Structures are given as C-alpha cells and as structure tokens.
C-alpha cells in the first residue's frame, strides 16, 4: 500500500536550507547502509513486541528496517514514512503489505495510534523537536518510542566538519539535537520511563572506497554541497581527513557516538 503527502514547495527537504540540495540515490543508499541496518537489527532484536502491534517507522529510507520489522513481527501492521520519493519508490519493492508513505511526519493525517514508533533519522530532521512532539501524539497509551540517533556531539561529525572546512562549507550540525536536549524534550512531552543508552563505537571500513561510498549516501543531508562538488569533496577532503583514522591493516576506524533511547507514552 502506498500514499503520498504533498509537502509545501518551500518545505520540501529535510531542512529549509537543504531544499535545493541533491537527494541521495536510493539504490546507492541500499548498497551502502549496512551499518544502519545492523544497528536496527541489534536494537529491535532486544525489544518485546506485542502481538498484532501497529508500528510506525519514521524516516524509513530504503525500507529495509521496516522490512526487518515485518519479518520480526509477521502479524504486525506496519507503516513507514520518508520524505524522499525515490526512497519510497525503492522501499515499495520490498513488501506490498507495508503501508509506505511519502511525506513529512508532521504533515501526515492518520486516524490511528501506534503501539510502537521507531526512528533512526532524528538527526536528519529539519525540526527534530517537532518530530518528537508529533511522534508522541501518534502513540497509544503505554506505546513505546524507540530512537537510534547520532547526536550533535558525536565525534564522527567533527571528522566530516573538518573535511567540509577544506571546501569552506558549513554543515547543518547545529540543527541537530544533543543527547541531553532529546531526553529533556521527551520529559517535557510527559513521556515516561525515558531510558538513554550512550556508547562510543568504532565504524570500520575495509578501505577508503567503502568509506567514501558510505558518506556519499547521506552527505547532502548533512551539508549544502552541490552534486558536481561531491566527487571532489570525497576524493580530496575525505581522503585527507581520513588519514588519521587509517590502521596498519589499511582499514579505517572512525569513532562515533551511538545513542539509543526508549520511552513510553503516559
């Protein structure tokens, strides 16, 4: 099932300042997002699903996490939303039983409440606080909100910012929320039992090509970089900035802050 929410023409990107930025290829993302899918599998694999759950995946990208959910809970009724039409078109090929929605969560009119809302995309949202507020309104009583995010203070973003500085480009990092800001907002929304798990991990890439392909999948969401500048940025600036992470076995190991948050509606 599929339907589309038509956004305002002046609010069609993840950020107002990103509206003219090129959208990443859905097929490229699908081939270079193993890290995200493994994290989702790890987190969701520990969750106790209710039989017959109604689940929403916000910022579903190419749909693989929603597909994972459908395999974990075959009897669940799953909805998945993303603002990129190319991502949703790609996702639709995975599972016709999932309700795929193209649009922004704050624009969606659904007469439904969810047992579980999951998102790995809060750090990409134009208005992350609005996203949290809207998500809380869609939860059933005692429904769960699960978030995986890479917050503003993650050291991975500094690596990218150092590379962008070589092109005199400023990222959208300031629009991201810190871990403390997310936790505070959830408490302000009267969500209860807020659990925040923070962990520094290493993102490991077999070679520089794997690293550049991974970054290509999302860099235009992080910085106002033009399509014809992406190759130069990856081949020059990322190559240079990544050298301090090069290991003796020629892999690249870059630290990042992983934050997993679980909360429940009152």
Q: Report yes or no: 101 and 43 within 8 Å, Cβ to Cβ.
A: no
pLDDT of residue 187: 94
Q: How many residues does the chain have?
A: 266
- Span 222-251, pLDDT tens digits: 999 988 899 999 999 999 999 999 999 999
For the chain, domain boundaries: 2-153+175-202+256-264
- Span 131-157, pLDDT tens digits: 999 999 999 999 999 999 999 999 999
Collapsing DSSP to helix, strand or coil, 56 comes out as strand
Q: What is the pTM of this model?
A: 0.90
Mean pLDDT over the full length of the chain: 90
Longest pairwise C-alpha distance within the chain? 55
What's the mean pLDDT in 155-172? Answer: 96
* Model confidence at 266: pLDDT above 50: yes
Name the one residue in this structure whose structure tokens are 């090129």: 22
Collapsing DSSP to helix, strand or coil, 18 comes out as helix
Q: Which residues contact 21 (CB under 8 A, 6 or more apart)?
A: 13, 220, 221, 224, 225, 226
One CATH from 3.40.50.150, 3.40.50.2300, 3.10.20.740, 1.10.600.10 for 2-153+175-202+256-264: 3.40.50.150
Q: Report yes or no: 132 and 182 within 8 Å, Cβ to Cβ.
A: yes
């Amino acid at each position: 099932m599929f339907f589309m929410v038509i956004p305002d023409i002046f609010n069609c990107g993840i950020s107002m300042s990103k509206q003219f930025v090129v959208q990443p290829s859905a097929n490229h993302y699908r081939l270079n997002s193993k890290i995200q899918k493994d994290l989702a599998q790890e987190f969701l694999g520990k969750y106790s699903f209710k039989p017959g759950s109604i689940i929403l995946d916000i910022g579903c990208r190419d749909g693989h996490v929603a597909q994972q959910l459908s395999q974990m809970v075959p009897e669940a009724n799953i909805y998945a939303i993303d603002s990129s039409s190319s991502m949703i078109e790609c996702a639709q090929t995975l599972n016709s039983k999932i309700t795929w929605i193209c649009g922004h969560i704050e624009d969606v009119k659904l007469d439904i409440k969810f047992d579980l809302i999951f998102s790995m995309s809060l750090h990409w949202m134009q208005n992350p606080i609005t996203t949290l507020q809207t998500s809380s309104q869609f939860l059933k009583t005692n429904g769960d909100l699960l978030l995986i995010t890479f917050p503003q203070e993650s050291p991975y973003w500094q690596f990218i910012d150092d590379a962008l500085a070589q092109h005199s480009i400023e990222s959208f990092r300031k629009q991201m929320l810190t871990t403390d800001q997310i936790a505070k907002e959830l408490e302000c929304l009267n969500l209860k039992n807020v659990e925040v798990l923070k962990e520094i991990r290493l993102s490991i890439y077999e070679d520089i090509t794997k690293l550049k392909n991974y970054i290509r999948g999302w860099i235009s969401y992080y910085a106002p970089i033009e399509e014809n500048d992406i190759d130069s940025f990856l081949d020059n600036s990322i190559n240079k900035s990544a050298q301090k992470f090069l290991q003796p076995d020629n892999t690249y190991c870059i630290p990042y802050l992983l934050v997993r948050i679980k909360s429940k509606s009152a």
